[in-house]
């Protein structure tokens, strides 16, 4: 019997290679569980490509500290913050900017290490995945962005392949609300739910992989 399989997408990659103080502990623990042999971990190669563009844009230090700088400047002018406190705050902002800028220089190295890690299985888009992308894109009530459509097709086809190879269970950690089979209120999205159910994929909104018996209403639990 082959081990269970877990599929992840760009959000997981971003959470693992982000600047150190912003990395997700849940994402790292999922990776550690795969390294311990609890399951096989898979990710579409296009997700690594997207993460390479996403991390520098999302975690740009100036975009995160500029609002605080504006606040300190305003609060100082209004007499709400002393000059000494303002100077201390600016020193912290400068340290923050320098730290994050240095961390962002490591993105390519971290991505390469991740792509070559023996506990992560990176797979390219195949012809069956591209064909499935076309067929899913033609469905009514479903209008994902092209990138999301590619990830969805890749996950579904890969899941089918893994189960055909003897993997008894396939989970998909999906943080993107556009590809979850339920909406924010927990109501089932018919087309997406049917796609995941037909492919026998368990969809999780985080990286915890809670026990199937504990999943709340609205989750896809067809296995």
pLDDT given at position 213 = 43
* pTM of the complete model: 0.85
pLDDT given at position 219 = 44
pLDDT given at position 207 = 96
Which residue positions in the chain have pLDDT lower than 70?
A: 62-64, 211-223
3-state DSSP of the chain = CCCCEEECCHHHHHHHHCCHHHCCHHHHHHHHHHHCCCCEEEEEHHHHHHHHHHHHHHCCHHHHHHHHHHHHHHHHHCCCCCHHHHHHHHHHHHHHHHHHHHHHCCHHHHHHHHHCCCCEEEECCCHHHHHHHHHHHCCCCCCCCHHHHHHHHHHHHHHHHHHHCCCCCEEEECCCHHHCCECCCCCECHHHHHHHHHCCCEEECCCCCCCHHHCCCCCCCCC
Tens digits of residue pLDDT in 87-144: 998 898 888 888 888 888 899 999 999 999 999 999 999 999 999 999 999 998 888 8
Domain boundaries, the chain: 45-122
pLDDT given at position 214 = 43
């Amino acid at each position: 019997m082959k081990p269970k399989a877990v599929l992840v997408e760009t959000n997981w990659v971003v959470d693992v290679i982000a600047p150190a103080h912003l990395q997700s502990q849940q994402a790292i623990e999922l990776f550690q569980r795969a390294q311990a042999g609890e399951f096989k971990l898979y990710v579409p190669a296009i997700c690594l490509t997207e993460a390479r563009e996403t991390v520098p844009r999302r975690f740009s230090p100036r975009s995160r500290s500029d609002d605080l700088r504006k606040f300190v400047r305003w609060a100082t002018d209004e007499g709400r913050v002393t000059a000494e406190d303002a100077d201390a705050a600016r020193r912290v902002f400068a340290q923050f900017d320098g730290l994050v800028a240095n961390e962002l220089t490591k993105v390519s190295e971290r991505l390469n290490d991740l792509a070559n890690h023996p506990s992560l299985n990176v797979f390219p888009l195949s012809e069956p995945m591209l064909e499935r992308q076309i067929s899913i894109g033609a469905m009514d009530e479903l209008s994902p962005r092209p990138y999301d459509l590619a990830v969805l097709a890749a996950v579904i086809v890969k899941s089918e392949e893994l189960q055909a190879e003897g993997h008894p269970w396939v989970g998909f950690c999906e943080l993107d609300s556009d590809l979850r089979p339920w909406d924010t209120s927990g109501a089932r999205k018919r087309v997406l739910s049917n796609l995941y159910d037909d492919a026998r994929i368990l969809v999780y909104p985080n990286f915890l992989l809670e026990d199937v018996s504990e999943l709340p209403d609205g989750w896809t639990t067809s296995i």
